[in-house]
Amino acid sequence: MKSIICAAAALALAGTASAGTFSIGAVDASNGDVSGGVVGTGIDIIGGEFYHDANEGLGATAEPNSNFFGFVPALEFDTYLTIDSGPITTTYKGTDVGAASELLTGNVGDPDAVGFTPNSYRGSWFIAGPPVGSFPTSGKPADANNEIFVGRLTYTGTLSGSIAVTIAEQDTFGTSQIVGNIVSETDVANGIGIITTDINGVSLTKSFTSRGYAWVAKEFTTVIDSVTYTVSDIYLQNVLDVPTPGALGLLSVAGVAATRRRRK
């Protein structure tokens, strides 16, 4: 049943990306524990654990209800998964694309379960409905032009993870599956963590202005019950073809050499 759902989500994607955007279907961080999942994917917290608000619980994965933020302010920073334009806040209630549905086996909390544990996640999630197209990038890095938000992770310790997703690119028929590590905004600005091929090593089409995709963690800290947590909002971004600092240095050297040749 799980593989049928994933296949349906992938087929629905075909031909949906346009105007420099991209669309995604099922998101996978299961390490192969769900049918069709990619081995090596998963999300882990090293030396700490996720924050799950007591009103939601460890097993909750969908977006929190912003109507309750006034009564439980910390609920805004609960750990959850979705496919949306950005995190749920007191002023933003989502794109009405529906809550993320999770593919589970076993019971959450069991050692072999797929889902959240206190310091890991293994599973796959998707939107029950039409595929979601990308949105204009908000904030850094400056060399990204489109993005899709897939989850808010709040935790102590250090985040480590790799995520796969089915993607439909601009002006491309059919879909590709890509996988990459979660990286910081600084990493992306330096060209680290850029995904340029699918899981079979085939070059992605992309738009003519981009060099690939990246799983970007936009991070800040918050204090809940006297504990300082890191909040990582995870986005899949289409990263523009802007030279990294190293590449700019090479271009400068080349420019100086060309000038000298002309002067001779």
**For 210-264, what is each residue's pLDDT tens digit?**
678 999 999 999 999 999 999 999 999 988 754 444 443 433 433 444 434 444 5
Mean pLDDT of 73-94: 88
Which pairing describes strands 144-155 and 100-103: parallel, antiparallel, or unpaired? Answer: unpaired
pLDDT in tens, 17-74: 434 578 888 899 999 888 788 999 999 999 999 999 887 766 667 788 888 899 999 9
Mean pLDDT of 82-89: 88
Tokens of 58: 């460890």
Which pairing describes strands 23-29 and 120-127: parallel, antiparallel, or unpaired? Answer: antiparallel
In angstroms, the CA 16 to CA 252 distance is 40
Q: Which of 65, 62, 78 is nearest to 155 (CA)?
A: 78
In angstroms, the CA 165 to CA 160 distance is 17
In angstroms, the CA 84 to CA 220 distance is 19
Our CA angle for 237, 238, 243, nearest 5°, is: 115
pTM: 0.80
For the chain, domain boundaries? 2-263
Instruction: Give the helix ranges, DSSP H, for the chain.
Output: 2-13, 185-189, 245-263
Tokens of 166: 């089915």
Residues of the chain above pLDDT 90, percent: 38
Chain centroid, CA 100 distance in Å = 14
Residue pointed to by tokens 């439909």: 168
